[in-house]
Amino acid sequence: MREATASAPGKVNLLLRAGRPDPDGYHPLVTVFECLDLRETVSVRTSRTPGIRVDTTVRRPDGSTDRQATAALGDLPVERHLAARAARLLQRLAATGPWAQTASGISIEVDKRVPIAGGMAGGSADAAATLVACNDLWGLGLDDAHLQALGRTLGADVPACLVGGIALGTGHGDHMTLLRAGEDPDPAAHHWVLALAAHGLSTPEVFAGLDAVGGPPGGWRPLPDVEVDLVAQLTGPADDLAGALVNDLTEAALQVRPGLARTMDAARDAGALDVVLSGSGPTVAALARDAGHARALAEAWRGTPGVADVLTTRGPAAGGE
């Protein structure tokens, strides 16, 4: 039996600009991801039983855990689980390699800390960590570019979870340029407070809502270039980052979940440096000055109607490793 373990981070989008959808329905994006110190850990083990099994331990912010076998992770059948799909991709490559005889069965343990369906790329982080772990398990020697190319076929956020740090995503948000590496410990870390909702939002539904209203406020416009000044702001200290956060999906998400406006206002009222919807939501991210400010914001935010849980975290964090 062979075994390998890897982890990958969830993210917030510091900047998300969406263009008019392509004929395939996907939107061209200019987006900047910041990976967070909130990681999915994946252990993969070869198994004599053919096929793929996924067991997930969900870790909640309050410290409670919930163990779920694959078929029971929400309503997700194993063939739709991104970790299973990532493993299957590499299983095909391993079938012709030196460990071919170990490639028919695989058992995957996912230790989940990234909120499910929160707009924080938890599923993509599962896929990213599984790609890294299976690459190691079967000694495939795939380089970063190859893993990102495979990840892109699984989901638009997978390359960001592989790269980590603060990274620009173009194309469908899946072609990455690293702007600032994730370091741990990082004395210049950004401190974030996250407000989690009780129920997730569907990313396709939010994008469809954006299309239905003819694009972001002001209509579809050409996607901006991310110039050096903006890169400096987004990768700089919290005071520089404040005011630069923007997400074109905000209005569309508010159409589906109007209560998010109150969540965002509550963080502003509590003194957050800036507030942004994470990806397609419903997680809302508030930027804090430092760790103490983050704790104070978290206390003030807790108990706001519509806020199921509050988490503090930091970024930028390392990618898949």
| Helix, strand and coil percent figures for the chain, each rounded to 5 | 30, 30, 40
81 binds ligand C5P (CB under 6 A): no
DSSP assignment string, 270-303: TT-SEEEE-TTSS-EEEEESSHHHHHHHHHHHTT
23 binds ligand C5P (CB under 6 A): no
Catalytic residue among 37, 126, 136, 157: 157
Compare residues 26 and 220 and give the one whose CB is closer to ligand C5P.
Answer: 26
Tell the smallest beta-carbon distance from residue 120 to ligand C5P (Å): 12
CA-nearest of 29, 8, 6, 37 to 207 is 29
CA-nearest of 51, 124, 140, 125 to 90 is 140
**What element of type H or E holds 159?**
helix 158-163
Q: Which two tokens stand for residue 16?
A: 């998300």
Antiparallel, parallel or unpaired: β 246-247 and 274-277: unpaired
11 binds ligand C5P (CB under 6 A): no
263 binds ligand C5P (CB under 6 A): no
Examine the residue annotation and report whether 24 is marked as an active-site residue of this protein: no
Choice from 204, 217, 303, 305 touching ligand C5P (CB under 6 A): 204
Q: Which two tokens stand for residue 72?
A: 């029971």
Choice from 7, 46, 130, 203 touching ligand C5P (CB under 6 A): 203
Examine the residue annotation and report whether 157 is marked as an active-site residue of this protein: yes
Compare residues 37 and 126 and give the one whose CB is closer to ligand C5P.
Answer: 126
55 three-class SS = strand
Catalytic residue among 11, 37, 126, 174: 11
Interface mask toward ligand C5P for 136-175; x: CB under 6 A: -------------------xxx--------------xx--
Task: Catalog residues that contact ligand C5P under the rule CB under 6 A.
Answer: 26-27, 29, 155-157, 172-173, 203-204, 207
